Amino acid sequence: MTIQGAIELFKKHQNSTVKKSTLRSYGKFLEKFQERFCEREVVTVSADDIGKFLEECTESLNRSTRHLRYAQMKAFFNYVIEASDLNIKNPCNASVLFKTFKNVYHRPRKILDKETVDEIIFNPHSVRDRQILELQARCGLRIGEVLNLRASDVSGRKLIIEEPKSGRDAELAFMLLVEHIAARLAQYIQTKKLSPDDRVFPLCYTTMRNLVTGLGRKLNVKIAPHDLR
């Protein structure tokens, strides 16, 4: 059986057993696989072939998506081998592929109570530091989004977030701030006499991480900047 025939068989099976969202998830990925190995026999596709293909398809993707593509490829071969009664092992079971595309499970983040968050925000003497911490804890901004803010991104209660985490080209996100936080931020920008293109908080991530972890130690709480949001 060729890869093209195997994909047709697999799609026919999926059409009657899985949701449309799952079909879409497999769609283009299987098309790329078919383009690469169209006329190859299923039994000739090796773990090395699959590894190279997955690397090319997923090199710019995050770890969880890389793992998903690997899992989809494994499911495809599992079904085809069983449905066609092929006397081969699933090439995706190779330990090198499992290790390369394994998922990483993060520990659940600790939920901080309001009193602790308040102490963290108002502990620093610096108005600048309190603004940053408040934008994270009260408004849910990522530390990178806060540090990349420019004065022109702040307009009344509206905040413009350029290049949010989704990473799509030229994407903007808009956030509506709580009124008193917006007022404090506007006052801070005015006091600093910032030009439209000036960064509101010209700091690096390491500086803020050291600040947050230091505040956590004072309160006997282990935290990182992302925990505040």
Q: What is the pLDDT along the chain (229 residues), one digit of tens a residue?
A: 999 999 999 999 999 888 888 888 898 899 999 999 988 999 999 999 999 999 998 988 888 889 999 999 999 999 999 999 999 999 999 999 999 998 876 666 667 788 888 888 888 889 999 999 999 888 888 888 899 899 999 888 888 887 555 444 334 566 778 888 889 999 999 999 999 999 999 998 889 889 989 888 888 888 888 888 7
Task: Examine the domain organization and report whether 18 and 94 are in the same domain.
Answer: yes
CATH number at residue 13: 1.10.150
44 Cβ contact list (under 8 Å, min separation 6): none
Model pTM score: 0.51
* Shared-domain flag, residues 54 and 92: yes
CATH label of the domain that carries residue 151: 1.10.443.10
Same domain, 9 and 61: yes
Residue 157 in any domain: the answer is yes
Do 163 and 191 have their domain in common? Answer: yes
The answer to whether residues 118 and 221 belong to one domain is yes
Asked if residue 109 belongs to a domain, the reply is no
- 83 and 126, same domain (yes or no): no
Whether 211 and 132 map to the same domain: the answer is yes
The domain tally of the chain equals 2
CB 33 within 8 A of CB 7: yes
Which domain-ending residue is among 100, 131, 161? 100
The DSSP bridge partners found for residue 159 are 154, 175
Pair (146, 53) in one structural domain: no
DSSP string computed for 176-209:
EPPHHHHHHHHHHHHHHT--TTSBSS---HHHHH
Domain of residue 15 covers 3-100
In a domain, 83, yes or no: yes
- Domain limit, last residue, from 72, 100, 128: 100
- Do 90 and 81 meet the contact criterion of CB atoms below 8 Å apart? yes
